[in-house]
Amino acid sequence: MAGNPTAAPSSSSGSSSVFLPPPSPSDGELLRSLHRLARDLSAVDTPAPFLRAAFASISRRSKLLAAAFDDLLLCGGAGAGAEGELPRSASLCLREVLLVLQRFKAIVADCSARSRMRLLLESDEMEAELRELNHDLATLLDLLPVVELGLADDVLDVLALASRQCRRCSPAPEAEQALKASVLSLIQEIEREIVPERETLEEILVEVGINDPASCSEEIESLEQEIGDRASEKWTASMIALVGLLRYAKCVLFSATPRPSDSTSKADVEAKDGEPPAPPSDFRCPISLDLMRDPVVVASGQTYDRESIDRWFSSGKSTCPKTGQVLANLELVPNKALKNLISKWCRENSVAMEACEASKSEQAQAVAANKAALEAARMTASFLVKKLSVSFSPDAANRVVHEIRLLSKSGSENRAFVGEAGAVPLLVPLLYSEDAGLQLNAVTALLNLSILEANKKRIMHADGAVEAVAHIMSSGATWRAKENAAAAVLSLASVHSYRRRLGRNQSVVEKLLHLVRTGPTSTKKDALAALLTLAGERENVGKLVDAGVAEVALSAISKEETAAAVLAALAKRGGAEAIVNIDGAVARLVAEMRRGTDWARENATAALVLLCRRLGAPAVTQVMAVPGVEWAIWELMSIGTERARRKAASLGRICRRWAAASAADGERGGGCPVATVVPPAMMAS
- Which pLDDT band, with edges at 50, 70 and 90, does 341 fall under? confident
What does the alpha-carbon distance between residue 422 and residue 428 come to, in Å, rounded to a whole number? 11
What percent of the chain shows pLDDT beyond 70? 84
Residue 140's CB is within 10 A of a number of other CB atoms, namely 19
Q: What does pTM read for this prediction? A: 0.70
> CA-CA distances (angstroms) from residue 609 to 570, 622, 651?
13, 12, 5
Residue 635's CB is within 10 A of a number of other CB atoms, namely 17
pLDDT of residue 650: 92
pLDDT of residue 168: 82
The stretch 282-289 carries a mean pLDDT of 79
pLDDT tens digits, one per residue of 506-542: 999 999 999 999 999 888 989 999 999 999 889 999 9
Please name which of 454, 457, 459 lies closest in space to residue 469, comparing C-alpha atoms.
459
Is 266 a residue whose pLDDT tops 70?
Answer: no
The stretch 134-139 carries a mean pLDDT of 92
What does the alpha-carbon distance between residue 84 and residue 466 come to, in Å, rounded to a whole number? 84
Strand partners, 364: none
Please name which of 243, 229, 224, 220 lies closest in space to residue 356, comparing C-alpha atoms.
229
pLDDT tens digits, one per residue of 414-431: 999 999 999 999 999 999
3-state SS, one letter per residue, for 374-439: HHHHHHHHHHHHHHHHCCCCHHHHHHHHHHHHHHCCCCHHHHHHHHHCCHHHHHHHHHHCCCHHHH
* DSSP per position, 540-588: HHHHHHHHTHHHHHHHTTTT-THHHHHHHHHHHTT-HHHHHTSTTHHHH
Strand order in the sheet with 333-334: 303-305, 295-297, 333-334
The stretch 467-488 carries a mean pLDDT of 94
The stretch 277-304 carries a mean pLDDT of 80
What does the alpha-carbon distance between residue 140 and residue 143 come to, in Å, rounded to a whole number? 5
Is 322 a residue whose pLDDT tops 90?
Answer: no
Mean pLDDT of the chain: 82
pLDDT of residue 429: 95
pLDDT of residue 673: 45
> CA-CA distances (angstroms) from residue 102 to 38, 109, 406, 561?
9, 10, 41, 57
- In one-letter notation, the amino acid at residue 215 is S
pLDDT of residue 661: 82
pLDDT of residue 265: 38
- Which pLDDT band, with edges at 50, 70 and 90, does 75 fall under? low
pLDDT of residue 351: 63
Please name which of 158, 28, 30, 167 lies closest in space to residue 99, comparing C-alpha atoms.
30
Residue 441's CB is within 10 A of a number of other CB atoms, namely 29
Residue predicted with more confidence, 685 or 424: 424
H/E element, 192: none
What does the alpha-carbon distance between residue 333 and residue 348 come to, in Å, rounded to a whole number? 26
- In one-letter notation, the amino acid at residue 484 is N
What does the alpha-carbon distance between residue 640 and residue 526 come to, in Å, rounded to a whole number? 26
pLDDT tens digits, one per residue of 444-455: 999 999 999 999
Is 260 a residue whose pLDDT tops 60?
Answer: no
Is 203 a residue whose pLDDT tops 50?
Answer: yes
> CA-CA distances (angstroms) from residue 23 to 6, 20, 31, 76?
11, 9, 16, 21
Q: Distance between terminal CA atoms of the chain?
A: 84
pLDDT tens digits, one per residue of 224-247: 888 877 888 888 888 888 988 898
- Which pLDDT band, with edges at 50, 70 and 90, does 347 fall under? low
Q: Which has the minimum average pLDDT: 307-311, 341-345, 538-542?
A: 341-345
Is 495 a residue whose pLDDT tops 80?
Answer: yes
pLDDT of residue 357: 38
What does the alpha-carbon distance between residue 632 and residue 617 come to, in Å, rounded to a whole number? 20
Please name which of 444, 401, 440, 419 lies closest in space to residue 290, comparing C-alpha atoms.
444
Domain segments of the chain as ranges: 27-167, 174-254, 281-334, 391-547, 580-666
The stretch 113-134 carries a mean pLDDT of 90
Is 155 a residue whose pLDDT tops 80?
Answer: yes
pLDDT of residue 272: 31
Q: Residue count of the chain, please give it.
A: 685
DSSP 297: E
pLDDT of residue 539: 92
Q: How far is CA 116 from the centre of its chain?
A: 23
Strand partners, 275: 265
> CA-CA distances (angstroms) from residue 352 to 228, 276, 326, 456, 656?
11, 10, 35, 28, 54
pLDDT of residue 76: 57
Interaxial angle between packed helices 479-492 and 436-450, expressed in degrees from 0 to 180 and rounded to the nearest 10:
20
For the chain, state the CA radius of gyration.
35
pLDDT tens digits, one per residue of 156-195: 888 899 989 888 866 667 888 899 999 999 888 888 888 8
Dihedral angle of Cα 38, 42, 47, 50, to the nearest 10 degrees:
120
pLDDT of residue 598: 86
Q: Which has the minimum average pLDDT: 171-180, 366-375, 628-637?
A: 366-375
- In one-letter notation, the amino acid at residue 579 is I
What does the alpha-carbon distance between residue 386 and residue 561 come to, in Å, rounded to a whole number? 44
One of 3.40.50.12780, 3.30.40.10, 3.60.110.10, 3.40.50.20 is the CATH number of 281-334, namely: 3.30.40.10
Residues 6+ apart with CB under 8 A from 618: 580
pLDDT of residue 154: 87
pLDDT of residue 325: 76
Q: What are phi and psi of 514, to 5 degrees?
A: -60, -40
Please name which of 187, 134, 186 lies closest in space to residue 165, comparing C-alpha atoms.
134
What does the alpha-carbon distance between residue 571 and residue 587 come to, in Å, rounded to a whole number? 15
**CB 641 within 8 Å of CB 596:** no
pLDDT of residue 170: 66
What percent of the chain shows pLDDT beyond 90? 38
Q: What is the domain class of 391-547 according to CATH?
A: mainly alpha
pLDDT tens digits, one per residue of 21-61: 555 678 888 888 999 999 999 998 888 888 888 888 899 99
Q: Which has the minimum average pLDDT: 14-18, 233-237, 385-389, 576-580?
A: 14-18
What does the alpha-carbon distance between residue 352 and residue 143 come to, in Å, rounded to a whole number? 50
